Structure 1
Amino acid sequence: MTGKTRRWLSGVAGGVALVLAAGVSTPVATAAEQADHAATKAVLDQYLAQAGPGAAVHAGNAADAWTLTTGTARINENRPLTQDDHFRIGSQTKTFTAAVVLQLVDAKLVELDAPIGRYLPGVVTGAYDGNVITVRQLLQHTSGIVRDIRDAAANPDGTYPLAELVRSAMDEPALFPPGTKQEYSNVGYLVLGMLIERITGQSAGDAITDRIIKPLGLAETSFPAPKVRALADPYLPGYLGTRVGPFFFWVDATTATELSFWSTAGAMASTLDDLAEFYRALLGGRVFSAAALAEMRRTFPPSDAYGLALSKLPLSCGGVAWGHNGSLPTGHYSITLVTDDGRFASVVTNTNRFDSKPSAIDVANSALCEGKS
């Protein structure tokens, strides 16, 4: 992050490997560094007991940035996570997808409350009515479309076209009438990927790259091409598994997933540093118009917690933060949150488990509240 003081605290293609490992020691920061952010370090250490082999938080404000790590990036090694490690960001991809759609809204090429069938005739069919479901409903998970793909047919090379992913879901029963409830739908964001491709004439990945990644200078962020599973160096290995007493049973899943299956719903890779910069740019008005940002932050009642690929989190110290989380079967879980006054916290662990207490949200909340003036 240009202009910020940075203070450090502290794949194999093909198959998967099952590893039995005893607990590794936590890399230790200097006493002075730990004391600077002792409260957040304590929450991070507690989070590790429910998370992956390692965890990290990268946080700060407009003037300063700092990184805390615990555990290890790679099992059987003492290698701290860093703010520059590449990992799969899962559903944080949705915020990038939504950003492109909102740019198209700004350009008057798409209307938020227009039916998706206007732009993709004959695509949202079967159990759904593309002449009723709107672009906004796809963005806010109120379309009633099923959550996940179940039976899509892969290409001979093992990749998945967006059109086939969406087609395969159209015979799944609708969850509810459009606009009446809010339930998460990965399929809805694959439809939005098709929308981006139809309007821009580019692949969704190229559109996200040309419209968001490159203009914001997110050099460590990428949308994978089909069949590309490896992460750029340095990377954070991802693990699936569980803990039994002092032992961890981990499966290295870093390259086990064909990412075109997740596409605009969850395929991208980034770093803690780049993710913090992306959300700060988003909330700072550097991605699209103020009107588009207001629409993105318009949450759906009664929870008042989720807008257009942007979640709202009340902070324990007052105020709210905005951002998104993401997990993927590659063994990564992350969340990034940013406040209107420029504070940010991006958290990652190298497994996809997120139902923990304390949670990654608790870690981010602590870091954001530490930074409150």
Structure 2
Amino acid sequence: MVRRAVLVPVALVGALAVAPAAAQAQVDHPATRAAVARYVTVHGPGAAVYAGNSNSSWFVTAGYANPVTRTAIGRDGHIRAASQTKAFTAVTVLKLVQTGQVSLDTPIARYLPGVVTGNGYDENAITVRQLLRHQSGTGTTYVPNPAGAYTLAQLVRYGLDHTPPQFTPGTGYYYSNIGYNILGLLIEEVTGKPYRQAITEATIQPLGLTRTSFPAQGDATLPAPYVPGYLGYRFGPVYFFADTTSTPNPAIFATAGSLTTSLPDLATFQRALNSGQLLPPALLAEMRSTVPIQPAYGDFAYGLGLLRIPLSCGGVAWGHHGDANGHTSVTMVTDDGRFAAVMANSTLNQVTDPDRFTVLDTALCEA
């Protein structure tokens, strides 16, 4: 997920009375349809699942993309990838490892001398692997103005200056946007290209992901068609939603979470990664070398830009999740070809049950 150290101003767009979208007329995949419908009743305004297996795919929605106009969520609507961006960034770094330009266990000082310093940080103690696996001890995003446009170097400097080391590198786990923005600087330094171009050439173009792109610097819009994002507030049984599609400027998350995408594109990316289209087996195995994350997440574990979760029907799934600008999502695949991409167009001011991982688990087990 993308952590934010900013407050979002609220402009209420009205209370929501949830009703199923027209797309819900289908009669297949009853467990997933029920899970999505229940998800919307506690989360709202809308949610969608794009799922399937090696033979077929299907799409389920509930609620609305827009609670005022009662527009349904479309399968190809643009959304914020948020922290699912991290998987694209990680694959790009691993491709540099594949070509011998980067080494996973080399200190970041070798590639970016003088960058990861100050406020207690030791550039010679933090490795590329630790940055990829959130074991570097670096902090989270901080910017003076959430609507502003910042370079990667500025984002990194603000973050390091604002948050001291969380622990000695390699001894803990702390989900760090700044760590992934440091990896963006690494990509730029090694390739000689802006991160938008380098990651696009390494991951987006080879897979023909036509709905996936990095926004231009300072561009807070989503291309049409898109699913608006909302910040939700609950007062008893009534929910209120503020449109936060463009607040804060998604560019402040950069290589940690600024991609624009769609559910089918996210599924295509994770399926390609899992099947070996993007990386050779040895490097995919490196990505799957995990450490436990916060105890609150149970048996969830994190590798090099990949999250691993256990499934209620047995086995595990691999992928990533994300939260930003009112979009919450997760995309996961299994080794036997099942996949599911889940999204809702709000982030609430309290924990909800079921959560997106419950919906994901249901879809993967039914796929």
TM-score w.r.t. the length of structure 2 is 0.91
Question: For the Cα contact (< 8 Å) 1:152–1:164, is it kept in 2?
Answer: no
Deviation for aligned residue 1:355:
3.3
Deviation for aligned residue 1:149:
2.7
Deviation for aligned residue 1:342:
1.2
Aligned to 2:127: 134
1:351 aligns with 2:346: yes
User: Which of 8, 11, 18 is the aligned partner of 2:12?
Assistant: 18
Deviations 1:253-296 (A, max 9, x none): 11222222110011011101000000000111011111110000
1:249 aligns with 2:244: no
Question: Quick one: distance in 1 between partners of 2:229 and 2:244?
Answer: 6
Deviations 1:4-40 (A, max 9, x none): xxxxxxxxxxx97421234142224566x22x21111
Deviation for aligned residue 1:136:
0.2
Aligned partner letter, 1:145: T
User: Which of 338, 341, 357 is the aligned partner of 1:361?
Assistant: 357
Question: For the Cα contact (< 8 Å) 1:85–1:233, is it kept in 2?
Answer: yes
Identity rate of aligned residues, in percent? Answer: 50
User: Which of 296, 304, 307 is the aligned partner of 1:308?
Assistant: 304
User: Which of 16, 38, 43 is the aligned partner of 2:35?
Assistant: 43
1:149 aligns with 2:152: no
Tell me the SS of whatever aligns to 1:325: strand
Deviation for aligned residue 1:247:
3.3
Question: For the Cα contact (< 8 Å) 1:313–1:321, is it kept in 2?
Answer: yes
Question: Quick one: distance in 2 between partners of 1:85 and 1:72?
Answer: 12
**5 Å matches for 1:163-202?**
163-171=153-161, 172-202=163-193
User: Which of 117, 122, 138 is the aligned partner of 1:125?
Assistant: 117
Question: For the Cα contact (< 8 Å) 1:337–1:344, is it kept in 2?
Answer: yes
Q: 1:277 to 1:20 in 2, by over 3 A?
A: same
Aligned to 2:337: 342
Deviation for aligned residue 1:135:
0.1
Q: 1:29 to 1:145 in 2, by over 3 A?
A: closer
Deviations 1:272-327 (A, max 9, x none): 10000000001110111111100000111586611011011111111110011000
Aligned partner letter, 2:126: I
Tell me the SS of whatever aligns to 1:321: strand
Aligned to 1:52: 44
Question: Quick one: distance in 2 between partners of 1:277 and 1:109?
Answer: 27
Aligned to 1:214: 205
Question: For the Cα contact (< 8 Å) 1:41–1:68, is it kept in 2?
Answer: yes
| Matched length | 351
1:325 aligns with 2:321: yes
Report the aligned-residue RMSD.
1.8
Aligned to 1:10: none
| 182-191 or 240-249, larger mean C-alpha shift | 240-249
Q: Which runs of 5+ in 2 are unaligned?
A: 1-8, 294-298
Question: Quick one: distance in 1 between partners of 2:16 and 2:56?
Answer: 36
Q: 1:30 to 1:312 in 2, by over 3 A?
A: closer
Aligned partner letter, 1:286: Q
Question: Quick one: distance in 2 between partners of 1:51 and 1:175?
Answer: 32
Deviations 1:33-85 (A, max 9, x none): 22x21111111111112223000111001111001100001012332212201
Aligned partner letter, 2:53: N
Question: For the Cα contact (< 8 Å) 2:63–2:72, is it kept in 1?
Answer: yes
Question: Quick one: distance in 2 between partners of 1:324 and 1:301?
Answer: 15
Aligned to 2:5: none
Question: For the Cα contact (< 8 Å) 1:67–1:82, is it kept in 2?
Answer: no
Question: Quick one: distance in 2 between partners of 1:185 and 1:272?
Answer: 24
TM-score w.r.t. the length of structure 1 is 0.90
Aligned partner letter, 2:90: A
Question: For the Cα contact (< 8 Å) 1:86–1:233, is it kept in 2?
Answer: yes
User: Which of 101, 122, 138 is the aligned partner of 2:93?
Assistant: 101
Tell me the SS of whatever aligns to 1:49: helix
Q: 1:97 to 1:29 in 2, by over 3 A?
A: closer
Tell me the SS of whatever aligns to 2:346: coil
Question: For the Cα contact (< 8 Å) 1:23–1:246, is it kept in 2?
Answer: no
Q: 1:270 to 1:317 in 2, by over 3 A?
A: same
Question: For the Cα contact (< 8 Å) 2:148–2:249, is it kept in 1?
Answer: yes
Aligned partner letter, 2:83: S
Question: For the Cα contact (< 8 Å) 1:26–1:78, is it kept in 2?
Answer: no
Aligned to 1:9: none
Question: For the Cα contact (< 8 Å) 1:226–1:259, is it kept in 2?
Answer: no
